[in-house]
Structure 1
Amino acid sequence: MVHAGDGTHRFFVAEQLGVVWVYLPDGSRLEQPFLDLRSSVLTTPWVGDERGFLGMAFHPQFHRNRKFYIYYSCLAKKKVEKIRISEMKVSRADPNRAEPKSERVVLEIEEPASNHNGGQLLFGLDGYLYIFTGDGGQAGDPFGKFGNAQNKSSLLGKVLRIDVNRPGRGGSRYRVPEDNPFLSEPGAHPAIYAYGVRNMWRCAVDRGDPVTRQGRGRMFCGDVGQNRFEEVDLIVKGGNYGWRAKEGFECYDHKLCHNASLDDILPIYAYGHAVGKSVTGGYVYRGCESPNLNGLYIFGDFMSGRLMALQEDRKTQKWRKRDICLGDPVSCAFPGLLSAHSQFIISFAEDEAGELYFLATSYPSAYAPHGSVYKLIDPSRRAPPGKCRYKPVPVRTKSKRIRFRPLATTVLDLLKKQAEKAARNSSSASSAPSLEPASPQRAASKTPAPPASSKKASRRPGTKKKARAWPPGPQAKRRKRPGARGGGRQQAAGKSRPR
Structure 2
Amino acid sequence: MAAAHAQDQGADQQTGPSWQDTISVARPGESGTLPGGPSIELREVTGDFIDPVNVVSAKDGTGRNPETGGLYIAEVGQNHWEEINFQPADSQGGENYGWDFLMGTHCFPIEQEECPQVGVLPVAEYDHEQGCSAIGLGVYRGGEIEDLDGVYLAGDYCAGTIWGLARGEDDQWVFQELLASGVQLTGGGTDADGNLYVTSCNCNYGGPLPQENPPGTLWQVVAASDQDSDTNGTAVAASRRGTSLPPPRDGARGE
Shared fold, TM over 0.5: yes
Separation of aligned partners in 2, 1:251 and 1:240? 15
Aligned to 1:267: 122
Separation of aligned partners in 1, 2:139 and 2:55? 19
1:489 positional shift: 3.8
Separation of aligned partners in 2, 1:374 and 1:353? 16
Aligned to 2:86: 234
Letter in 1 for 2:107: C
Aligned to 2:203: 363
Aligned to 1:248: 104
Matches within 5 A, 1:40-79: none
Q: Decide whether the 8 Å contact of 2:55 with 2:187 is kept in 1.
A: no
Aligned to 1:202: 61
Separation of aligned partners in 2, 1:260 and 1:204? 25
Q: Secondary structure at the match of 1:345?
A: strand
Change in CA separation of 1:348 and 1:304 when aligned onto 2, cut-off 3 Å: same
Q: Secondary structure at the match of 1:354?
A: coil
Aligned to 1:222: 74
Letter in 2 for 1:203: T
Matches within 5 A, 1:385-404: none
Separation of aligned partners in 2, 1:313 and 1:228? 27
Aligned to 1:282: 137
Residue ranges of structure 2 left out of the alignment (5+ in a row): 1-47, 239-255
Q: Decide whether the 8 Å contact of 2:161 with 2:177 is kept in 1.
A: no
Q: Secondary structure at the match of 2:188?
A: strand
Q: Secondary structure at the match of 1:292?
A: helix
Separation of aligned partners in 2, 1:490 and 1:294? 23
Separation of aligned partners in 2, 1:228 and 1:56? 27
User: What number of residue pairs does the alignment pair up?
Assistant: 178
Aligned to 1:496: none
Q: Secondary structure at the match of 2:147?
A: helix
Separation of aligned partners in 2, 1:273 and 1:265? 22
More relative contact order, 1 or 2 (CA 8 Å, 6+ apart): 2
TM-score using structure 1 length = 0.32
Separation of aligned partners in 1, 2:159 and 2:83? 15
Separation of aligned partners in 2, 1:488 and 1:286? 22
Letter in 1 for 2:99: W
Aligned to 1:291: 146
Q: Secondary structure at the match of 2:61?
A: strand
Q: Which string of whole-angstrom CA distances, capped at 9 and with x for unpartnered residues, describes residues 84-140 of structure 1?
A: xxxxxxxxxxxxxxxxxxxxxxxxxxxxxxxxxxx68xxxxxxxxxxxxxxxxxxxx
TM-score using structure 2 length = 0.59
- Aligned-pair identity (%): 24
1:302 to 147, 152, 157: 157
Aligned to 1:24: 50
Separation of aligned partners in 2, 1:260 and 1:253? 14
Change in CA separation of 1:295 and 1:260 when aligned onto 2, cut-off 3 Å: closer
Aligned to 1:85: none
Q: Which string of whole-angstrom CA distances, capped at 9 and with x for unpartnered residues, describes residues 269-294 of structure 1?
A: 00000000100012121110121221
CA RMSD of aligned residues (A): 3.5
Q: Secondary structure at the match of 2:198?
A: strand
Separation of aligned partners in 1, 2:66 and 2:156? 23
Q: Decide whether the 8 Å contact of 2:165 with 2:176 is kept in 1.
A: yes
Q: Decide whether the 8 Å contact of 1:376 with 1:489 is kept in 2.
A: no
Separation of aligned partners in 1, 2:234 and 2:173? 20
Q: Decide whether the 8 Å contact of 1:376 with 1:490 is kept in 2.
A: no
Query: Which aligned runs of 4 or more in structure 1 are off by greater than 6 angstroms?
Result: none
1:380 positional shift: 5.1
Change in CA separation of 1:369 and 1:245 when aligned onto 2, cut-off 3 Å: same
Aligned to 1:319: 173
Separation of aligned partners in 2, 1:202 and 1:310? 14
1:375 positional shift: 0.5
Separation of aligned partners in 2, 1:230 and 1:206? 21
Change in CA separation of 1:287 and 1:353 when aligned onto 2, cut-off 3 Å: same
Separation of aligned partners in 1, 2:120 and 2:51? 40
Separation of aligned partners in 1, 2:159 and 2:131? 5
1:369 positional shift: 1.6
Change in CA separation of 1:302 and 1:291 when aligned onto 2, cut-off 3 Å: same
Q: Which string of whole-angstrom CA distances, capped at 9 and with x for unpartnered residues, describes residues 60-86 of structure 1?
A: xxxxxxxxxxxxxxxxxxxxxxxxxxx
1:487 positional shift: 4.6
Letter in 2 for 1:366: P
